[in-house]
Structure 1
Amino acid sequence: MGINKFNTKNQMHRVRLAGLVFTVLLLVVSVIPSSFVVQATGPALDVNSKVEGKPLVSVSGVSTYPTDTHLFMTTVSAFGNGDAGAPVAQAVTALFRKDLQVMPVRVMFPDNLTTKEVKAQNTKAMTTSQDTAALVAFELAGYPVSMNLKIVGLNRAYPSGKLLKSGDIIKGIKLASEQQFHDISSFKQLSSILDKTEPKTNVTLRVQRGGEVREESFETIPYPADQQGWVHPGSLLGVGLEVTDVKYPGNVKYIVDGIGGPSAGTMFTLGIFDQLTEGSMGGKASIAGTGTIAWDGDVGAIGGIEHKLQGASEHGATNFIAPAANCSETVGYEPKGMKIWAVRSIDEAKAVVEGVAKGDTSKLTSCRALLDGIKKDK
């Protein structure tokens, strides 16, 4: 039986051509931008460490103390931006990997903002986080701090909205049951009083309005429940506040290039506090964490916690400080042997570090315990 060499050569040519076309298509797909951003584990940095011989976070102008505690701030890396998403091949691969997350470009980069503007916002958020962390740490360490609390937002539906004015600066507060005013020079001072004040309590606020000082009386309002149903203790004035003229002793400098956003605030605060106080707050432990920090020390939610847990694990941390609001996102992503502690304030975060150092975590709340408690309540 004869063999048609011409047909055989044609078939081989078609196979090679198909292979070449397939290879070209793969190369094209690998570089064509998608409409998604791929998030992955970013670097974890010890805020008590040095970078090229210089402290990552340095405190000067006041007495500082060495520490053996390793406090890791955790980050998320992102591939793609508002101008071009991650390559199609990378986005498709990420769909099948637990350690990667796919996010629509417009979720992270809104249409009304350029990539440059989003980057600027993240840089500003990092700077604000650093400033807040420094003040909170100094105040936590017992140093005198001060700031102006200027009212910038009012709601006429609240009792305070009918009496206060935008631009008023809070100078003092007095409860109806008290005879004297409490002078207010920091957000923490104000919140510590309100945290113990029941909703609908009559308070008198002393404010500076232009060149005069006025006193306005009204009822406080309750906190709304968060996504987990938890209600912050105490009550609110029902106003938006802007913090200005922040002052604290000493200076704080950071070496954190190329990282934006506010999520390192909690770990910065702990690291600065550790330097301001004698001894090693966490002993020789390696503790990682994340969370925004507010002027009153409240710890807030962040994004990408599943990637941050992995980054912490890669650096040997077996204890992780997590905002309570993010606990539900840690389920299924807990690295083996890692304990994830739920916190809502810098005081609770500090208690985690100190508890780990003492080897006694019985008074701490893990994310698992927090979530189990919520389920039982329901």
Structure 2
Amino acid sequence: MPRRTATLLTSALLLITMFCVGALINVPYAEMSPGPTVNTLGEHDGDPVLNVKDKPGRDGRPEEYDTSGHLNMTTVRVTGAEYRMTLFGALSGWVRHDSLVVPHETLYPDDKSAKEVDQENAEEFTASQESAKAAALKELNVPVSTHVLVGSVEKGAPAHKRLHAGDVITAVDGTPVGRPESVGKLVTQHKPGEKVTFTVIPAAKAKAAQKKGKKPSSKDAEKITVGTRKAADDGRAVVGIQPAVGHTFPFDVDIKLADIGGPSAGLMFALGIVDKLTPTDLTGGKFVAGTGTIDDTGKVGEIGGIQMKTVGARNKGAEYFLTPAGNCATAAKDKPDGLTLVKTSSMDDALSSLKKIRSGKTDELTQCKAH
């Protein structure tokens, strides 16, 4: 066999072998890509994303103003927990602009099942809605009362099946509590194995009162005694709950958006609520998208997958993207053409930027820069 032919044959066999290896060998990575982006001012699956109920206007009906433009929340699509990426798949994802390859454990930690991850994301999404409502109404000087509730209960913990997510905690061992951190301090005064008595208003009764715009009533309170166990990290007494802040709103703001998880839509929900409850058209008809967590005070926090969210927003037509300050440098390194990244640290920042956008003073916007 001529040397040239032998060389070509060897090279072809080597390429075939490499192709087979790349196509068959799995690597411990997962993939993130742009997910759906939804206008919080519009509809999703035939229903309004934001629906203000029972807010009395001048004529006695709920007062909700017309809006225009877009205030789009953005998402990231991720591969499932059981997905096994090939070497070729990883290499392809690393070179693509609209894909981000990350270690599998980043999305699905080894100490959590896929079901637990999904549940955690769902709880964060629910909590983000509550914070968005609180931040928006406080911005509008609408009174919002707060209380402490059970945010989540660890499966198999002493509190499991005794306390439930949504239960309002009014006292621990008879001592009233007004902040989530107070619950932990009172529990840890016990030794592991001792019992703690919680005074709670069951979730169902609390929700029924809140739907009427009323505070959960102490007359519905029950005393529940729960055991404690030793915490794995420092040996303190714990019952296995995560306390959280709950709110009572004077009217109902219904957020309908299925199959979405995580806390990153908080900012855009809050802005959408403000837009619907004020005569000012916040966007002036412009297409604005964004992301960011939000707390009760209106502080905006950074999120994951920012590059995929900016790509998804621009693909849908967004001109401006409200970007958490903590994500600015990363987002600016790979900014889609035609998209202005607006640095946002708070609700006030976002509202100020929207005023500049609708008035055409975009040269005054604080834009993200790559360091």
TM-score (norm 1): 0.65
CA contact (8 A) 1:287 1:317 kept: yes
Q: For 1:346 and 1:55, how far apart are their aligned partners in 2?
A: 23
Deviation of the 1:148 alpha carbon: 3.0
Cα deviation 1:64-114 (Å, max 9, x = unaligned): 111013111111111242x44334432221122232211111122111101
Q: For 2:126 and 2:327, how far apart are their aligned partners in 1?
A: 23
Residue 213 of structure 1 corresponds to none
Which piece of structure 1 moves more, 265-274 or 29-38? 29-38
User: Structure 1 269/27 Cα, relative in aligned 2: closer, same or farther at 3 Å?
Assistant: farther
Q: How is 1:40-55 mapped onto 2 (pairs within 5 angstroms)? A: 40-55=33-48
Residue 257 of structure 2 corresponds to 256
Deviation of the 1:257 alpha carbon: 2.0
Work out which of the two has the higher radius of gyration on C-alpha atoms and give 1 or 2.
1
Query: Structure 2: which amino acid aligns with 1:78?
Result: V
Residue 93 of structure 2 corresponds to 94
Q: Secondary structure at the match of 2:322?
A: strand
Q: For 2:116 and 2:357, how far apart are their aligned partners in 1?
A: 41
Residue 124 of structure 1 corresponds to 123
Q: Secondary structure at the match of 1:313?
A: helix
CA contact (8 A) 1:38 1:80 kept: no
Gaps of 5+ in 2: 56-62, 150-174, 180-241
Residue 29 of structure 2 corresponds to 36
Q: For 1:73 and 1:169, how far apart are their aligned partners in 2?
A: 32
CA contact (8 A) 2:332 2:341 kept: no
CA contact (8 A) 2:300 2:347 kept: yes
Determine if the alignment matches structure 1 residue 141 to structure 2 residue 140. Answer: yes
Q: For 1:31 and 1:131, how far apart are their aligned partners in 2?
A: 45
Deviation of the 1:27 alpha carbon: 7.6
Query: Structure 1: which amino acid aligns with 2:104?
Result: V
Deviation of the 1:281 alpha carbon: 1.2
Query: Structure 2: which amino acid aligns with 1:103?
Result: V
Query: Structure 1: which amino acid aligns with 2:74?
Result: T
Q: Secondary structure at the match of 1:288?
A: strand
Let me know the Cα RMSD of the aligned residues. 3.2
Q: Secondary structure at the match of 2:279?
A: coil
Q: Secondary structure at the match of 1:274?
A: helix
Q: For 1:244 and 1:66, how far apart are their aligned partners in 2?
A: 31
Query: Structure 2: which amino acid aligns with 1:126?
Result: F
Q: For 1:102 and 1:246, how far apart are their aligned partners in 2?
A: 38
Residue 104 of structure 1 corresponds to 103
Gaps of 5+ in 1: 1-6, 151-165, 171-240, 373-378
Residue 327 of structure 2 corresponds to 326
Residue 112 of structure 2 corresponds to 113
Cα deviation 1:4-23 (Å, max 9, x = unaligned): xxx9xxx9xxx9xx99x959
Residue 180 of structure 1 corresponds to none
CA contact (8 A) 1:324 1:343 kept: yes
Residue 207 of structure 1 corresponds to none
CA contact (8 A) 1:35 1:84 kept: no
Query: Structure 1: which amino acid aligns with 2:322?
Result: I
Query: Structure 1: which amino acid aligns with 2:98?
Result: D
Query: Structure 2: which amino acid aligns with 1:325?
Result: G
TM-score (norm 2): 0.66
How many residue pairs get matched? 275
